[in-house]
């Protein structure tokens, strides 16, 4: 299906999820995840009004960025190797996968301005998932306070692919609770307003639980 049709369906679902949870659709940023698709398809997404794109690998990101440039905001959503930070740092608007000190150190070293970062949290405890353990998030943010180029704007998680909606909801609730705990700390480097959670399979539930950034690939452009 064309991206415009997909987007209409998604926007309709966003509206319904917002109604259920007393939220407003304007609070939610749709990040179009273009990792599976061509430049043509990515451009089609932009013409429908998508203003935020996400890529999870350096090569894919650079290929898209080189064709499209900064007419959209770019979100780096995948695992980022420290030695590749220098290749993306001046091009991305946000990094969603900050999960270790060595990466924070490298971002701080290479950045020439403050970089918006989401801390990736492994809420579900699956071994295959990247991210900090929930218990470690606050001490991690304190540890990176010395890195002046990092602004912790929120938390990010990837839920496992579950059919059990209530388990998914539990994962999103937990991330929201960790975000609230971080905010209570009033840390100068961590306004931590945002929740990057929800993908094609589960974005409606994520919105009901407070997502501010949803990352949608297959249902939008796939
Ligand atoms: C691929 C990917 C997505 C989008 O997944 P879909 O299920 O296709 O919507 C979101 N977030 C991350 C980190 C991804 O790697």
Residue of 111, 28, 31 whose CA lies nearest to 75: 31
In short, whether 35's Cβ falls inside 6 Å of ligand 1 is yes
Q: Which two tokens stand for residue 86?
A: 């220098």
pLDDT at 194: 98
- Structure-token match 């306070």, residue found: 145
Mean pLDDT, the chain, rounded, equals 97
pLDDT at 131: 96
Ligand 1 atom with minimal separation from the 31 CA: 10
- pLDDT tens-digit map of 121-144: 999 888 777 999 999 999 999 999
- pLDDT tens-digit map of 50-66: 999 999 999 999 999 99
pLDDT at 41: 98
> How many residues are listed for the chain in this entry?
222
Mean pLDDT of 147-152: 98
Residue of 126, 139, 55, 59 whose CA lies nearest to 95: 55
Sign, CA dihedral 182-184-185-189, equals: positive
CA of 33 to the centre of ligand 1 (A): 6
Best residue among 199, 207, 216, 221 to mutate for probing ligand 1's pocket (most ligand atoms within 8 Å of CB) is 199
Q: Does residue 46 register a pLDDT over 80?
A: yes
Ligand 1 atom with minimal separation from the 77 CA: 13
pTM exceeds 0.85: yes
Contact by Cβ (8 Å): 144, 119: no
- pLDDT tens-digit map of 83-109: 999 999 999 999 999 999 999 999 999
CATH of the domain at 35: 3.20.20.10
- Determine the Cα angle at 133 with ends 189 and 195, to 5°: 55
CA of 214 to the centre of ligand 1 (A): 9
Rounded Cα–Cα distance for residues 168 and 159 (Å)? 7
CA of 188 to the centre of ligand 1 (A): 30
Residue of 113, 122, 121, 68 whose CA lies nearest to 94: 113
Ligand 1 atom with minimal separation from the 56 CA: 15
pLDDT at 215: 98
Total structural domains within the chain? 1
- Structure-token match 């602004």, residue found: 151
Domain containing residue 64:
3-221
pLDDT at 134: 97
Report the relative pairing of strands 150-156 and 213-216 from DSSP bridges. Answer: unpaired
pLDDT at 147: 98
Rounded Cα–Cα distance for residues 20 and 14 (Å)? 10
Q: Using CA positions, which residue lies closest to atom 11 of ligand 1?
A: 215
Q: Confidence band (pLDDT; 50, 70, 90) for 44?
A: very high
Rounded Cα–Cα distance for residues 134 and 101 (Å)? 16
């Amino acid at each position: 299906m064309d991206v415009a049709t997909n987007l209409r369906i998604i926007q309709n679902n966003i509206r319904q999820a917002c109604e259920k949870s007393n939220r407003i659709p304007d609070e939610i940023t749709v990040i179009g995840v273009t990792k599976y698709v061509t430049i043509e398809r990515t451009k089609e997404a932009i013409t429908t009004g998508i203003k935020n794109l996400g890529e999870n690998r350096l090569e894919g990101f650079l290929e898209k960025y080189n064709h499209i440039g900064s007419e959209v905001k770019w979100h780096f959503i995948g695992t980022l190797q420290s030695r590749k930070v220098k290749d993306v740092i001046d091009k991305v608007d946000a990094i969603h996968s900050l999960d270790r000190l060595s990466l924070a150190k490298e971002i701080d070293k290479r950045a020439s301005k403050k970089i918006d970062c989401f801390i990736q949290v492994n809420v579900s405890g699956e071994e295959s998932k990247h991210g900090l353990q929930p218990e470690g998030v606050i001490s991690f943010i304190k540890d990176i306070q010395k890195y002046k180029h990092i602004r912790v704007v929120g938390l990010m998680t990837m839920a496992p692919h579950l059919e059990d909606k209530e388990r998914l909801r539990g994962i999103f609730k937990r991330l929201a609770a960790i975000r609230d705990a971080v905010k209570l700390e009033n840390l100068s480097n961590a306004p931590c307003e945002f929740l990057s959670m929800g993908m094609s399979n589960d974005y409606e539930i994520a919105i009901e639980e407070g997502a501010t950034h949803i990352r949608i690939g297959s249902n939008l452009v796939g």
